[in-house]
Structure 1
Amino acid sequence: MRQQRAAVRPHGRGTERSLARRAELIAIGRKLFADTSYDALSMDDIARQAHVAKGLIYYYFGSKRGYYLAIIQDSVAGLVTCASSALELPAVDRVHRTIDSYLRYAEHHQAAYRAIVSGGVGFDAEVHAIRDGVREAIVTTIAEGAYGRGEITPLVRMGLLSWVCSVEGATLDWIDRPGLSRDTMRELLVKTLGGALRAIEELDPAHPAPQPARRDA
């Protein structure tokens, strides 16, 4: 019974020091998995590069897969929180803020962003499900900003999802080859979103594209 209890404790529910240590290991893991595939890193490799005992990773995460999934989940939470901010703003301003927050996250948390979007492990159903959940959260956030509601038709969802998938690829390229400022990148994505919203309106007039406000500042 004592051994069972010790095995259940690891998941970061202890002291503040334990939570801080777990967060530190997740931050280290983001960088490791951003540059190296999941299969190419052994637990020995991870422990050596993280400068910790291998048992510490098992203690907090149970396994290499548990460690990797914790990294992905933590990264996802950060991205969705950033992108879902500014709910108090008018619709068009909210869309601008969502895209700006998305780009800021990718710019300042590049390893985490790459982990979310590209996974780094080949085909992995669970990781892909997490990534798909992020996409759906961003689609809902954009829909709420554009239409004032998150419940949308399949056509609207597909139009917005197509835009989100294109944003992922463009953002990966942007952080790898930063030739554009974040402001320029944001405005480009806003304009391509406007095109997607107008195409949706043509096919489904019940979802009119929001009219852009005059942005004097």
Structure 2
Amino acid sequence: MTSTSRTRLAPDARRAQLLDLGVRLLATRSLDELSIDVLAEEAGISRGLLYHYFGNKHAFHEAVVRRAADDLIAQTAPPVEGEPLERLLASVTAYVDYVTENYEGYVSLVKAASAGNETLREIYEEARSALVDRVFREDAQGTLLTDTPATRLVVRGWSALTEELVLTWQADPAGVSRDQLLGLLAGSLPALVGSLPPD
């Protein structure tokens, strides 16, 4: 007779494992559907262990959303080489792919942030700011835009426009191809900034 033993993980490693599972589950279900029961069943552990690591359902949701936001920022990082517009297109492409692969969870995050959950709104805003800030990042190839208050305002608006276009397109492409969407997103930022009056 053979017996199998479960690997005992350090608390930080177990918590990280549960967060990874939570993020994977969030890709295909809304935040409201991501319950302690669902995660416990998927992880093959007791509800009590999840409460031990996260305290309550809200703390669990917040931890999963923060991990998902960190994943979004990491996965959409532009390459360090290439012309600024090429790097922007690569980052926008990664963003579209991320939203496509994590649609249900992403939509529920946007809704939760706009519905008044302060912690989720804060996580959402931190992620949005990180995505906006990277447009102004300096590297060997230079930056696409000059960092001014007016340009930052435009980039912030473009970021909101990008999110709305991608979510709308994902829900109903309406004859617009992925390549057309990507071209629109990457081309609209320079066009918007180019419309700014000179200082």
Return the TM-score normalized by structure 1: 0.72
Which moved further from structure 2: 63-72 or 178-187?
178-187
Give the CA deviation at 1:151: 7.9
Check whether the contact 2:96–2:166 (CA below 8 A) recurs between aligned residues.
yes
Write the distance in 2 (CA, Å) between the matches of 1:65 and 1:11.
23
Match of 2:17 among 6, 9, 20: 20
Counterparts in 2 of 1:190 and 1:118: CA distance versus 1, 3 Å: same
Structure 2 residue 81 is matched with structure 1 residue 88: yes
Give matches, 1:1-217, under 5 Å. Answer: 12-14=11-13, 19-29=16-26, 31-34=28-31, 36=32, 46-50=35-39, 51=41, 53-119=46-112, 122-144=115-137, 148=143, 152-179=147-174, 180-200=176-196, 202-204=197-199
Letter in 2 for 1:68: H
Which moved further from structure 2: 168-177 or 55-64?
55-64
- List alignment gaps of at least 5 residues for structure 1: 1-9, 205-217
Give the CA deviation at 1:176: 1.4
Q: Deviations over 1:167-202 (max 9, x none)?
A: 1111111121134332111001122212212023x3
Letter in 1 for 2:30: F
- List alignment gaps of at least 5 residues for structure 2: 1-8
Check whether the contact 1:22–1:60 (CA below 8 A) recurs between aligned residues.
no
Check whether the contact 2:78–2:88 (CA below 8 A) recurs between aligned residues.
no
Q: Deviations over 1:127-176 (max 9, x none)?
A: 11211111211111223389628882221110110110111111111121
Root mean square deviation of aligned Cα: 3.0
Which moved further from structure 2: 91-100 or 134-143?
134-143
Counterparts in 2 of 1:147 and 1:32: CA distance versus 1, 3 Å: same
Q: Deviations over 1:193-214 (max 9, x none)?
A: 12212023x344xxxxxxxxxx
Aligned residues with identical type, % of pairs: 18
